């Protein structure tokens, strides 16, 4: 069914990467991990992978961009759908199966979330970004991309370390590929230290940017469905 691809340069998110994969409902899945730094402990990741089904790990040096790593992972994949998982976010158990439902809409080649939750750890705040669900769209969050593998015969990720997903979406639109936004559930962008993120804005700005849902220590129970 689906090949989940994750590229990472951060040892500290290893448990999160495997937890997101293991959590997904369904047996027809594989996880392809690209370690994008030559000094990362490949053996440690390999030992961790031995406890899971259908996990393959590759290591590419820093001379390879994030876009390069994503393309490499896609080349190693065996299923008809490619799901891009970020190493530091939360993907609920029903994330994949509910995403695949989006492909039942006519002519859809890309599924993702225009509307999504974000959890700001320092504030214990769960916010909702955007309000565009169950509709065709011209944008989805890069961390929520699920793509028919056939798309990659025409469009690749650009060789970039920043905004590679945004450029991929724009390139797909040029080819006329249709995109569909599912619902807000089963995914949360996790905001830890603002300095660790590409989007360099303060937590206070984010609070004002999104719609406050709750102050909580248990965001998973709010964002997750039972499929």
Question: Which residues, in sequence order, are bridge partners of residue 137?
Answer: 179
Q: What is the CATH number of the domain that holds 72?
A: 3.90.550.10
Chain mean pLDDT for the chain: 95
Residue 219 phi, psi (nearest 5): -70, -30
Does 199 score more than 90 pLDDT?
A: no
pLDDT of residue 206: 79
222 assigned to some structural domain: no
129 assigned to some structural domain: no
pLDDT of residue 209: 79
119 assigned to some structural domain: no
Q: Residue 196 — pLDDT band, cuts 50, 70, 90?
A: low
Domain residues for the domain of 18 are: 2-112+136-182
Task: Output 208 or 29, whichever has higher pLDDT.
Answer: 29
Q: What would the pLDDT profile of 68-102 be if each residue is shown by its tens digit?
A: 999 999 999 999 999 999 999 999 999 999 999 99
Domains identified in the chain, total number:
1
204 assigned to some structural domain: no
205 assigned to some structural domain: no
142 assigned to some structural domain: yes
99 assigned to some structural domain: yes
118 assigned to some structural domain: no
Judged by phi (left if over 0) then psi (alpha if -120 to 50, else beta), residue 163 lies in left
Task: Output 79 or 205, whichever has higher pLDDT.
Answer: 79
Q: What would the pLDDT profile of 154-182 be if each residue is shown by its tens digit?
A: 999 999 999 999 999 999 999 999 999 99
Does 198 score more than 60 pLDDT?
A: no
């Amino acid at each position: 069914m689906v090949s989940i691809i994750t590229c990472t340069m951060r040892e500290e998110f290893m448990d999160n990467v495997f937890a997101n994969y293991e959590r997904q409902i369904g047996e027809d899945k594989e996880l392809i991990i690209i370690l994008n730094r030559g000094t990362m402990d490949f053996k440690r990741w390999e030992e961790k992978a031995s406890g899971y089904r259908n996990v393959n790990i590759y290591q590419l040096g820093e001379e390879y961009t994030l876009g390069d790593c994503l393309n490499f992972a896609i080349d190693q994949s065996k299923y008809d759908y490619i799901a891009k998982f970020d190493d530091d976010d939360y993907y609920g158990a029903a994330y994949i199966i509910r995403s695949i439902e989006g492909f039942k809409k006519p002519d859809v080649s890309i599924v993702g979330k225009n509307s999504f939750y974000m959890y700001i750890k320092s504030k214990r705040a769960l916010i909702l970004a955007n309000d565009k669900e169950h509709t065709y769209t011209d944008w989805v969050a890069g961390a929520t991309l699920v793509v028919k593998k056939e798309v990659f015969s025409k469009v690749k990720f650009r060789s970039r370390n920043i905004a590679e997903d945004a450029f991929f979406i724009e390139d797909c639109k040029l080819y006329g590929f249709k995109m569909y936004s599912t619902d807000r559930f089963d995914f949360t962008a996790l905001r830890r230290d603002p300095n660790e993120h590409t989007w360099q804005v303060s937590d206070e700005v984010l609070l004002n940017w999104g719609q406050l849902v709750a102050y909580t220590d248990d965001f998973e129970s709010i964002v997750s469905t039972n499929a």
